[in-house]
Amino acid sequence: MDRLDAMQLFVRVAESGSFSKAARAAGVGQPAVSKQIAALEEHLGAQLLRRTSRGLSMTEAGQDYYEAALRLLGDLEAAESRIGRGQVAPSGLLRVALSAGFGRMYVVPRLPEFYALYPDVSIDIDITERHVNLIESGIDIAIRIGRLSDSTLVARRIGSVDIATVATPAYLKAHGTPRTPADLEQHACVALVFHGAPRPWEFKRAGSEILFTPQGPLRSNDAEHLRAAVLADLGIGHNASWLYADELESGAVKRVLADYAPTHFPINAVWAGTRQPSGKVKAFTDFMAQVCADHAHLKIR
């Protein structure tokens, strides 16, 4: 039994609550994981996991070993990062979860710079608008826009999102300009769909929150389709301002209801567990923080 491999597998099992999920994340078969955990328990002379019909849970000894394993693995990663010229060059496959529009517009165009710095890292981009379970999906790091709800994740804020309500000059000339959120009832609104329903638009004025459910001729779960619809004069959009950064600057779209704009939302890099990030995760996080800092619509406010 390789004790380090067994320790890493045990941490994966403990965090995912499943032998099969840990096996998928590690790229091995489930029998191999079960065998490693059994050998680890035999080596320690203690039961680490309870196996019931409802799943897995850690014993008291398992919880103690889990916390110690996190510290040891974190210390090992930190030590490895200090070897050689102050830091081991990050290498290997990095699985990153991104939203489609953000990835295409702001991440992929900057990747040549990242690869110039870290030529031994390869990136697998998982496109999703939903907050997937990082451990179950084998994701190393996710870039998430908006408020975080999963307290088990480690997060580093790297930027901010400004929500803008926008329309083309042609649309506004034909249909008029809304002065209050209530005026949107008389307009075609291009809505983002989340879990099968239009996501409400949030506005704020004098400390009060106003929610509006958009209705219109087109809705989509993809931000770039919403952007295309707005640019095609189909209606008013209410999205992250970075989606229209060039058009706002050129005047191809106009911002409306600016006095009712909601507060900024954070952009976070998140990873699972309480461990220190690996070298490649830290390198990508630092890189994305710089990407956000370089864009007025993304920098921390």
* CA 239 from centroid of its chain's CA atoms: 17
Position 2 pLDDT exceeds 50: yes
* CA 146 from centroid of its chain's CA atoms: 9
Could you tell me the fold of the domain covering 3-80?
A: Arc Repressor Mutant, subunit A (1.10.10)
* CATH architecture observed for domain 92-161+265-293: 3-Layer(aba) Sandwich (3.40)
**pLDDT tens digit string along 172-222?**
999 999 999 999 999 999 999 987 889 999 999 887 899 999 999 999 988
What DSSP string runs through 20-65? Answer: HHHHHHHTS-HHHHHHHHHHHHHHHTS--EEEETTEEEE-HHHHHH
Numbered ranges of CATH 3.40.190.290 in the chain: 163-260
Position 87 pLDDT exceeds 60: no
**pLDDT recorded at residue 86:** 45
Total H helices, total E strands in the chain: 11, 15
Cα(205)–Cα(176) distance, integer angstroms: 22
Global pTM value: 0.70
**pLDDT tens digit string along 8-21?**
888 888 878 888 88
Numbered ranges of CATH 3.40.190.10 in the chain: 92-161+265-293
**pLDDT tens digit string along 268-277?**
999 886 556 7
Say which residue the tokens 């489930």 belong to: 30
The answer as to CATH 3.40.50.300 being correct for domain 163-260 is no
Numbered ranges of CATH 1.10.10.10 in the chain: 3-80
Mean pLDDT of the chain: 88
Confidence of residue 255 (pLDDT cuts 50, 70, 90): very high
Position 62 pLDDT exceeds 70: yes
Position 32 pLDDT exceeds 50: yes
**pLDDT recorded at residue 162:** 92
**pLDDT recorded at residue 80:** 65
Nearest to 202 by CA among 142, 157, 249, 161: 161
**pLDDT tens digit string along 66-75?**
888 888 887 7
Position 78 pLDDT exceeds 70: no
**pLDDT recorded at residue 85:** 42
**pLDDT recorded at residue 20:** 85
- Which residues lie closer than 8 Å to 261 by C-beta, 6 or more apart? 162, 163, 164, 165, 203, 204
Cα(186)–Cα(235) distance, integer angstroms: 11
